[in-house]
Amino acid sequence: MIIANPIYDVVFKKLMENEKVAKFFIGTLLEETIESIELKPQEYTYKGELETSEGIEAAEARLRQRFSIWVYRLDFIATIRTQSGELKKVLIEIQKAKNLIDLMRFRNYLAEQYKKEDKIDNEKIELPITTIYILGFKLPEIESPCIKVERNYRDLVHKTTLHQKSDFIEKLTHDSFVIQVERITDRYQTRLDKLLSIFEQRNFTDEKEITKNYVYSPDIEEMKTITEILHYVGTDPKERKQIEIEQEAWRSVSAMFEEKERRYQKELEAQRKALAEKDQALNEKDKLIAELMKKLNQDKK
């Protein structure tokens, strides 16, 4: 079956618009049954035009002269109620490339969510937060395709693990889940394996890596729904066009950041070289002064 690559925001949005799929996705990662869910995609569109001026790097100028930079982003916020009745706020972030600016955006966005009050039945409340990061690049230190970063309560006086949780602490700290799509292999046994299989970055049908051949046979209802949605998005011309627009925009932005990174490294190297030459000159000056002082002392004697 041909399906769209869900690493793109516009594709992932189609999945999360389906309540059954959203519950399955979040519930499988959290290993909890989701009784209810309210999903609020946060949409952002950034546009920037080139203003011709001297000093703009040639590569960046050529890039911007082709078209205005257009970036479409989705940050997913889900308010969930688990089977035990616990309320949580789940933040879902997709990041296709490793850029420093996006790391800072994650941190700023997380800070904004901690500051924001939520409303449940018209009552203001601060909900505990859980984050899910879907990464299109590899973390070199971690080989697992899916990890959970969780907190434990430790009594440091008695050196024991505490099993009782505090509402105050829960609202100030959070668990986090990280999916590395580049490390997903051909496992298809557990519910988690089956969920991760849609993100597997293999068996693409074209060089653009927008669609791929899904080689598994869905054997649970939620996976059948997921693959049907992804098949529609991957084969409908209008939906595919939206993916291509997003892909081209992010390629352009990545090229800009790569050029700026190269320029930064070049400037940094020049500064290091200048400092090294300055240090060498100071050392030679100190050596000369020491020799003159030594000669002066000898002359005095």
C-beta neighbour count of 210 within 10 angstroms: 20
Q: Which of 84-88, 161-165, 174-178, 183-187 has the lowest mean pLDDT?
A: 84-88
Task: Give the residue, 119 or 259, on which the prediction is more confident.
Answer: 119
pLDDT tens digits for 77-120? 888 988 888 899 999 988 876 665 567 777 887 888 888 888 88
Tell whether the model's pLDDT for residue 70 goes beyond 50.
no
As a whole number of Å, the CA-based R_g of the chain is 27
Helices (H), the chain: 9-16, 19-30, 58-66, 100-115, 167-170, 191-197, 221-235, 237-300
pTM over the 0.95 mark = no
Task: Say whether pLDDT at 10 is over 80.
Answer: yes
Please spell the DSSP secondary structure of 54-84, one letter per residue: TT--HHHHHHHHHS-EEEEEEEEEEEEEETT
Per-residue burial over 169-191, b if 16 or more Cβ lie within 10 Å, else e, is: ebeeebbbbbbbbebbeeebeee
116: left (phi over 0), alpha (psi -120 to 50) or beta: beta
Q: Stretch 242-251: mean pLDDT, rounded?
A: 76
**Is the pLDDT reported for residue 63 higher than 80?**
no
Reply yes or no on whether the pLDDT at 45 is more than 70. no
Give Cα separations from 282 to 15, 79, 277, 288, 289 (angstroms): 64, 62, 9, 10, 10
What mean pLDDT is reported for the chain? 82
Q: Give residue-wise pLDDT tens across range 204-218.
A: 998 888 999 999 999
Torsion on CA atoms 122, 125, 130, 134, rounded to nearest 10: 40
Which tokens is 171 given? 């609202």
Interval 235-259 mean pLDDT: 75
230 pLDDT above the threshold of 90 = yes
